[in-house]
Structure 1
Amino acid sequence: MASNSRKRSLQAQRLAEVKARSAHAKKASGKGHHIRVSPQHRTPATFGDWVSGLRARTLPLAIAPVALGAGIAYMLKSFDLTLSLLALVVALALQIGVNFANDYSDGIRGTDAHRVGPQRLTASGKAKPKTVLTVALCWFAIAAIAGLVIVIITGHWWMLAVGAVALLAAWFYTGGKRPYGYAGLGELMVFIFFGLVATIGTVYIQSTVIPQEAWLGAVSIGLLAVATLLANNIRDIQTDTVAGKRTLSVRIGDRASRILYVVCMLLPFVGTVILAFAYPLAYIVFFVLLLVLPACLIMLTAKTPKELILVLKLTTLSSLAFGVAMGAAIAF
């Protein structure tokens, strides 16, 4: 009981400190929700800063569904390397675009002013907001062009609508006047687009069919994508609360979020058991538990936000390993 009391006291103290710093930053900015860094205090972003802005640790989320989808297409004897690579370009460009758009939007709102983890380009003042926004739009354009090429090759013109919705979802995650990421809907959208759409879409453009393996795999990858976002948002609960960012983790609380994270990390292996009846090689996917179990253990026992940075890395690696292993198991 005494230990829990001390823990709550420390959490309250940290939250009070974050609120005080946030209030000071807003007062200094004179803009309320928009924090600006004066030019004389701005250190220009280096090449390394821009590479960091890509948030490479999130890219496995884009690779995993395409790898799995390509494996399923190979099983269907309809694998097309060109289409698979184009799908990968779309997924990667969208993910990178989202990362820069998030940097821009959270930066001008002041959400990243006191975040845990690497500094962001906009919030740190290393890059002008308009520059970061331009970079984000360029990556979205790359995704759109690659998607258009897919449509031209396959003749599935109706998929232009899917692409348009994906681009809108990428922007309005933290962009616009009412970003859905600030309303606790980020996990749902990640599940849909980086789980269902990315996996099933990769299969469909090559085979024009959607087998049961695609649905089961898409749900599994989607759950791992949700776990990744949860790991990020659980870490940022205190700062997001102060900034008014009502993520799912802020809404349901720390404990419930951690339990949900573990559920999302372990449920995909139920699907693995089901697939293993038809694809014996699927048992190799259980080696991914070597990444998943430590991540879950740290998530359940971590007492500081910084400890969750490792969880985020393990989660994205788990997603990549799961997608590649499952894709290979189904293909061969």
Structure 2
Amino acid sequence: MSKAKLILQGSRPLTWALSVCPIIIASLCAGMDSFFAPLSIYSRSSRWILLIFLSIIVALSLQICANFFNDYFDGIRGVDANRSDTSPVRLNSVDSGALVALKASLGALCIGVVAGVAAVNISRQYWLIVVGIICSIVALAYSTWFSALGLGELLAFIFFGPVVVWSVEYMIIRHLGPWAILSGIQCGLIAAAVLLINNMRDQYSDASGGKITIVVRWGRDIARRLLIITLTIIWGMSLCQIIGAIMGVNGQTAAWIMVIYTVIFGCAIALSAWIIINIFRADNRPALYKNAFMGVNGLMILLMLHYIVVFVVANAL
């Protein structure tokens, strides 16, 4: 496999939805919350579209940076020596892989910094520089300290949820509304669920390498319960949101929306059940962790579709 292809696969492209979808969700929430804000997304559409594009680059770059930096430290600490065949492709599998991972991490970070500076200059929200510095430090420090203390899921929740969604909405409309607050929590929970499944799969290799994750500390049984609770909260919140939003819509429109949303919600419940089944069966068949892992990424896409429907409902009122 060529080095370029290895770098692409090592960036985990199938998980990019964790960065892209929260930005799109934040923009939808900005549209719904802008009724109470000093700025509206409709008055300067070209500006906020550019800000959203730059925000996606920043979020994606930081995610890729964190992935490669994690690969780098796992490689030099020998954690990857005990990885199973079900783990994703890592740069440590080639000669000088750790050095390549470090260079790729710093390259992604530089791209994110450039896009972030551009977004700050356009929005004139200079406090975002502080947010960007904190996010960059966390992306680099996660592999060296935070993951060893079992704080990975908490950091994923905070920085892939509230920090991303709330910052993007405020950057666009100078206001933080209820839709963004709720969606930030939901996005964060999905990101935490992805990392929880990842740590369930890598429990034994992490333990042997001195990485004390939540799963290493508390075990898979508690991790499975946490996952079930997390998925229940996400879609319980979503159901309450659509019911509340649709109550003000006329009968015929409401009927069509409910048909569409029933399909989305049904897919979310079915996918959640499939994830849980795979998690319980993965003890004897570790390859099933990949199914669960990709399933949770699919839930992020379904959450984005949920907010598209809610956005349509809100604009129909």
Asked whether the two chains share a fold, i.e. TM above 0.5, the reply is yes
Alignment of 1:178-327 (within 5 A): 179-280=145-246, 281=257, 283-284=261-262, 285-286=264-265, 287-304=267-284, 305-322=286-303, 324-327=304-307
* Amino acid corresponding to residue 117 of structure 2 in structure 1: L
Name the residue aligned to 1:112: 80
Cα distance in 1 between the residues matched to 2:5 and 2:210: 30
Contact 1:69–1:327 (CA under 8 A) maintained in structure 2? no
Cα distance in 2 between the residues matched to 1:265 and 1:214: 19
Cα distance in 1 between the residues matched to 2:7 and 2:17: 18
Q: 1:91 aligns with which of 59, 63, 67?
A: 59
The SS at the match of 1:189 is helix
Cα distance in 2 between the residues matched to 1:268 and 1:167: 27
- TM-fit CA distance, 1:145: 1.2
- TM-fit CA distance, 1:140: 0.7
Name the residue aligned to 2:101: 132
Contact 2:242–2:310 (CA under 8 A) maintained in structure 1? no
Deviations 1:240-286 (A, max 9, x none): 11111000111111100011111112211121122123323584541
The SS at the match of 2:107 is helix
Alignment of 1:136-155 (within 5 A): 136-155=105-124
Name the residue aligned to 1:63: 20
Cα distance in 2 between the residues matched to 1:269 and 1:132: 36
* Amino acid corresponding to residue 23 of structure 2 in structure 1: V
* Amino acid corresponding to residue 314 of structure 1 in structure 2: G
Gaps of 5+ in 1: 1-43
Name the residue aligned to 1:33: none
* TM value normalised by structure 2: 0.85
Name the residue aligned to 1:4: none
Deviations 1:179-227 (A, max 9, x none): 1011100001000000111111121111111111111111111111111
* Amino acid corresponding to residue 303 of structure 1 in structure 2: D
Cα distance in 1 between the residues matched to 2:158 and 2:204: 27
Q: 1:156 aligns with which of 114, 118, 125?
A: 125
Cα distance in 2 between the residues matched to 1:214 and 1:135: 32
* Amino acid corresponding to residue 101 of structure 2 in structure 1: V
1:328 maps to 2:308: yes
* Amino acid corresponding to residue 308 of structure 2 in structure 1: A
* TM value normalised by structure 1: 0.81
Cα distance in 2 between the residues matched to 1:99 and 1:290: 29
- TM-fit CA distance, 1:45: 4.7
Name the residue aligned to 2:10: 53
- TM-fit CA distance, 1:107: 0.8
- TM-fit CA distance, 1:125: 3.0
User: Root-mean-square deviation (CA), in Å?
Assistant: 1.7
Cα distance in 1 between the residues matched to 2:24 and 2:53: 10
Gaps of 5+ in 2: 35-39, 247-256, 313-317
Cα distance in 2 between the residues matched to 1:118 and 1:268: 26
Contact 1:67–1:327 (CA under 8 A) maintained in structure 2? no
Cα distance in 2 between the residues matched to 1:55 and 1:83: 24
Name the residue aligned to 2:254: none
